[in-house]
């Protein structure tokens, strides 16, 4: 799986070599990302009055979405929810690979369209990993909270992430400090990495040195009128440290570990959490009108 933090970990590991070699700067490309929007082919019911917009994470490609999310989508639809998949910031089939602000704006436009076509007062959002950041940007910075009833997040990347899990996952030697510590201590790395490795730009938007990150994570994250629920796994080697990276420690938020909910169920990790039947049933239970 290849996520924004993974690209960041790789870039951080090779940055010193690139700098030492005096590589010429590469101009940042135009965003050029697109949104893949499911046609609004359903209507909400009295029992499930809010359409559910599902935001997959950055693990895998758009060609894999159907297989990755089959269990979740089936459970939601069997529960009577008008369920729609939105994939934003798509570049060369990779979700959330474009500018995160533009990706969140794409989401905002889709929410408006879904509400208009279904005549629903609000929507529910179910998001995984990088998709949760787009959701939070939409809810807080783009003032989308009045349009959302429930926000259910799977293995989100929130305030406490250190980025360290990606280093071991891709065979990168362990650094003396974590990627987040490096960016915090050496903020000059941000423009250097962005210039030398344009593909890193979006990953860098999700670090504490980024204005995009701070606009979401500084101050209160949760928004009035929205019910938030978060499920994480102790086996997460991507959103690290597990729990600390994912949980939103604010009043009214449901924060749970998969292993506490389902101690006798098959183990999951960062990616397979969204494919678990147990997770799917938990998500359905959180979407109460």
pLDDT per residue as tens digits for the range 147-172: 999 999 999 999 988 877 665 555 55
Tell me whether residue 197 is in a domain: no
Residue-range definition of the domain harbouring residue 114: 26-161+206-286
14 vs 101: CA distance, rounded Å: 27
Count of domains for the chain: 1
Distance of CA 99 to the CA centre of its chain: 13
- 2: in domain: no
Q: Is residue 189 part of a domain?
A: no
Residues comprising the chain, all counted: 289
Cβ atoms of residues 137 and 131 within 8 Å: no
pLDDT reported for residue 113: 98
Contacts of 73 (CB under 8 A, 6+ apart): 54, 83, 85
CA 42, CA 48: separation in Å to the nearest integer? 12
Residue 76 lies in a domain: yes
Residue 257 lies in a domain: yes
Kindly state whether residue 16 falls inside one of the protein's structural domains: no
Alpha carbons 105 and 111: distance in angstroms, whole number = 10
With CA atoms as reference, report the closest residue to 55 among 141, 117, 114, 13.
114
Residue 167 is predicted with a pLDDT of 55
Q: Is 162 helix (H, G, I), strand (E, B) or coil?
A: coil
User: What does the pLDDT read at residue 16?
Assistant: 45
Query: Are 96 and 157 spatial neighbours (Cβ–Cβ below 8 Å)?
Result: no
Is residue 150 a part of any domain in this protein?
yes
Mean pLDDT of 200-210: 77
* pLDDT value, residue 170: 52
Query: What CATH number is attached to the domain comprising 260?
Result: 3.40.50.1820
pLDDT of residue 205: 80
Phi, psi at 19, each rounded to 5°: -65, -45
pLDDT interval class at 1 (50, 70, 90): very low
In this structure, what is the dihedral angle of CA atoms 139, 140, 144, 149, given to the nearest 10 degrees? Answer: 50
**Residue 188 Cα to chain centre, angstroms:** 26
18 belongs to a structural domain: no
Q: At what angle do helices 100-118 and 130-140 cross, to 10 degrees?
A: 70
At 55, the pLDDT band (50, 70, 90 cuts) reads: very high
């Amino acid at each position: 799986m290849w996520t924004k933090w993974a690209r960041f970990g790789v870039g951080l590991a090779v940055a010193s070599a690139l700098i030492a070699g005096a590589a010429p700067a590469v101009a940042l490309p135009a965003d050029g990302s697109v949104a893949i929007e499911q046609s609004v082919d359903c209507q909400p019911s009295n029992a499930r009055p809010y359409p559910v917009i599902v935001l997959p994470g950055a693990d895998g490609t758009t060609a894999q979405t159907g297989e990755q999310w089959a269990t979740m989508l089936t459970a939601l639809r069997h529960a009577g929810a008008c369920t729609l998949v939105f994939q934003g910031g798509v570049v060369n089939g990779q979700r959330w690979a474009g500018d995160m602000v533009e990706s969140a704006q794409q989401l905002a436009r889709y929410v408006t369209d879904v509400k208009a076509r279904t005549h629903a007062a609000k929507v529910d959002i179910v998001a995984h990993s990088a998709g949760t950041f787009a959701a939070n940007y939409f809810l807080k910075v783009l003032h989308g909270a009045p349009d959302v009833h429930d926000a259910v997040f799977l293995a989100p990347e929130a305030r406490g992430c250190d980025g360290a899990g990606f280093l071991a996952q891709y065979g990168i030697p362990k650094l003396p400090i974590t990627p987040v510590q490096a960016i915090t201590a050496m903020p000059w790395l941000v423009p250097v990495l962005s210039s030398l490795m344009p593909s890193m730009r979006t990953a860098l938007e999700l670090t504490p040195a980024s204005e995009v990150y701070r606009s979401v994570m500084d101050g209160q994250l949760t928004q009035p009128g929205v019910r938030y629920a978060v499920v994480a796994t102790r086996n997460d080697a991507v959103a690290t440290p597990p729990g600390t990276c994912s949980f939103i420690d604010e009043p009214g938020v449901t924060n749970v570990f998969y292993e506490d909910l389902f101690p006798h169920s098959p183990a999951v990790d960062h990616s397979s959490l969204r494919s678990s039947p147990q997770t799917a049933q938990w998500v359905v239970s959180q979407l109460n009108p």
